[in-house]
Amino acid sequence: MYSPDGVFAGALCAALAGVSRPVRAADVRQLLELAANSSPDAVIAHILPGGSHQVITDLAAHAPVVVVGPDDEEAMLMSVESGATGYALQDGSLQAIVDAVEAVVDGRAMVPPMMLGSLLRAVVQRRRRQRVERESLEGLTPRELQVLDLLTSGQNGQQIARALIISPETVRTHIQHIMSKLDLHSRAEVVAFGGRNRLEEWRSRE
């Protein structure tokens, strides 16, 4: 487990000692090493507001992850979407964290019960938004989809032009059409849209 708050980490280790043998990491890098090399039953990561959620994804590749974080719907949803199986409030009881650890070791997901309603609503809204976005993809031509995929994979206009054997001016036209059809207003928005949708589609084909 890791927490940037040493006192909190010590207290949590003491609380966990009754049910397991907690190992405390000095930092996130060591936590990742421990998770990768020692096959833990679960990993606890204390993520402060604004902290990176990539570490959750990396940890989840090795063991079920319990995130300890703020009483914030967005942070909780980000954690769950990043791969956390459990979430406990940093301002809640230590026992709630222990309960979450026991749940994920048992193969169950665990979030603060009173946050369940707002989390479910957030999931419903995100799924609706994704459905609308996927439907809007159907309005693109096969060529525009190719341009979208290449743009999303990080290629610039020149590279896309070479890959598709078309002129850079034609690439720009395709991108303008994509932006118009998807109601997007910048290349950055197009790339973000592609990341949310086309890349997901690629993964599902694998």
Partner 1 sequence: MADEHRERPRKAGEVWVHRESDQVAAYVPETGHLHALNPSAMAIWDLCDGTTTVGEMIQAVAELTDADLSQAERDVLRTLDELAKRGLVEGWWGAS
Enumerate binding residues for partner 1 (CB under 8 A).
80, 85, 108-109, 111, 113-114, 116-121, 123-124, 127-128
Q: For residues 108 and 162, which CB has a smaller minimum distance to partner 1 in the complex?
A: 108
**Are the CB atoms for 131 and 89 separated by under 8 Å?**
no
**Are the CB atoms for 37 and 16 separated by under 8 Å?**
no
CB of 140 to partner 1, least distance (A): 24
Q: Which residues contact 35 (CB under 8 A, 6 or more apart)?
A: 43, 59, 62, 63
Q: For residues 122 and 163, which CB has a smaller minimum distance to partner 1 in the complex?
A: 122
Q: In what order do the strands lie in the sheet with 86-89?
A: 43-46, 65-69, 86-89
Pure H helices in the chain: 6-16, 28-37, 54-60, 73-82, 94-105, 116-137, 142-152, 157-164, 168-182, 187-196, 198-205
CB of 115 to partner 1, least distance (A): 9
CB of 80 to partner 1, least distance (A): 7
Q: For residues 19 and 120, which CB has a smaller minimum distance to partner 1 in the complex?
A: 120
CB of 111 to partner 1, least distance (A): 7
CB of 152 to partner 1, least distance (A): 24
Q: For residues 103 and 148, which CB has a smaller minimum distance to partner 1 in the complex?
A: 103
**Are the CB atoms for 79 and 87 separated by under 8 Å?**
yes
Q: For residues 114 and 188, which CB has a smaller minimum distance to partner 1 in the complex?
A: 114
Q: How far apart are the C-alpha atoms of 89 and 91, rounded to whole Å?
A: 5
